[in-house]
Structure 1
Amino acid sequence: MSVWFLQRFEGNVQSEVGPLQPKELLELVRKGDIKPETMLRKNDSAWFPAKEVGGLFEAAYRPVIVFYCPGCGKKIPKPPVSCRHCLRDVGANEAREVKTAVTSVAPTKPQPTPSAAADEGQRSVQNWLKKKVARKQK
């Protein structure tokens, strides 16, 4: 598995943070600690800006899927799996699946000021998408 490192500057002092697992890297993006201009490297590669990591910021915007055991209600890994809390075997169709939206992610690019018509069209698409997601969750 690959590991990631990031450069952090505090004043004039540069430090290297890592190794980080991909999941930890996404958490730092969600917190806003990693911005498009943050320098990263994968394993022993050269340093490059975070915006060059394909799908990094998009993945941080995706909803997080969490699974819960139907027996004890505790969080479990993706089924099929045995719950480590109640030792129940949980099949792929048995687990309660919850999708949580990521709300703490800062935008990666400055957004241009839209015209009134474009803004109305954007809101229309967003409303349609919200309704579709709400129907799917029922």
Structure 2
Amino acid sequence: MAEWYIQQSDTVEDIGPLRPVELLKMVRSGDVTPETQIRKGDSAWFSASEVGGLFEAAMRPTIEYFCPQCERPVHEPPVVCAYCGREIHRALTKITENTIAGGAKRSKVDQPGKSVQQWLKSKMLRRDEENEEGTG
């Protein structure tokens, strides 16, 4: 699983590791803006605006599922509730429409449909090409 880190300008320590869902929550709360420096794993720091699809993903609705019997959280059906043991084929759902606090502007670099994995792959290819040019 991907681990993300955030560089805070007002503190010495970085925040992380964060799971992707935690990073999205920070984007939604406005703690991560397009200018925020972030990194994935042990990569170099870069602006959050360079991660294609990050801000679009933060604005997508989230769906939570709940057991119709005990009303506790469950995974997407079909599933067996870990709390009451009921086999669930249709769960109660809660859909949350998400927004970004402060209305973060969409970056020109942010390309809809471009996954983080694709972005990292292209970034690594560019770095490899630059290294080859420097040694050649």
TM exceeding 0.5: yes
Bigger relative CO (Cα 8 Å, ≥ 6 apart): 2
What SS class does the counterpart of residue 8 from structure 2 fall into? strand
Q: Which amino acid aligns with 2:9?
A: F
* Residue of 95, 112, 115 corresponding to 1:99: 95
Q: Which amino acid aligns with 2:3?
A: V
Task: Tell me the TM-score normalised to structure 1 length.
Answer: 0.70
Q: Using the TM superposition, give the Cα deviation of residue 6 of structure 1 relative to its aligned residue in structure 2, in angstroms.
A: 0.7
Contact 1:67 1:97 in 2 (8 A): yes
Pairwise CA RMSD? 1.6
Task: Tell me the TM-score normalised to structure 2 length.
Answer: 0.71
**Residue 55 and residue 45 in structure 1: after superposition, are their counterparts in 2 closer, same or farther (change >3 A)?**
same
Alignment partners' CA distance in 1, 2:14 and 2:100:
24
What stretches of structure 2 of length at least 5 have no aligned partner?
A: 107-136
Alignment partners' CA distance in 1, 2:58 and 2:82:
28
Residue in 2 aligned with 1:2? 2
Q: Using the TM superposition, give the Cα deviation of residue 24 of structure 1 relative to its aligned residue in structure 2, in angstroms.
A: 0.5
Q: Which amino acid aligns with 2:40?
A: K
Structure with a larger share of its residues in strand = 1
1:3-49 deviation per Cα after TM superposition (whole angstroms, max 9, x unaligned): 00010011xx4321111000100111111100000001001111110
Aligned length: 106
Alignment partners' CA distance in 2, 1:96 and 1:55:
29
Greater CA deviation, 20-29 or 98-107? 98-107
Q: Using the TM superposition, give the Cα deviation of residue 98 of structure 1 relative to its aligned residue in structure 2, in angstroms.
A: 2.3
What SS class does the counterpart of residue 69 from structure 2 fall into? coil
**Superposition pairs of residues 102-121 of structure 1, within 5 angstroms:** 102-103=98-99, 105-109=101-105
Contact 1:64 1:101 in 2 (8 A): yes
Alignment partners' CA distance in 2, 1:103 and 1:36:
15
Contact 2:58 2:100 in 1 (8 A): no
State the percentage of identical aligned residues: 47
Whether 2:53 is the aligned partner of 1:85: answer no
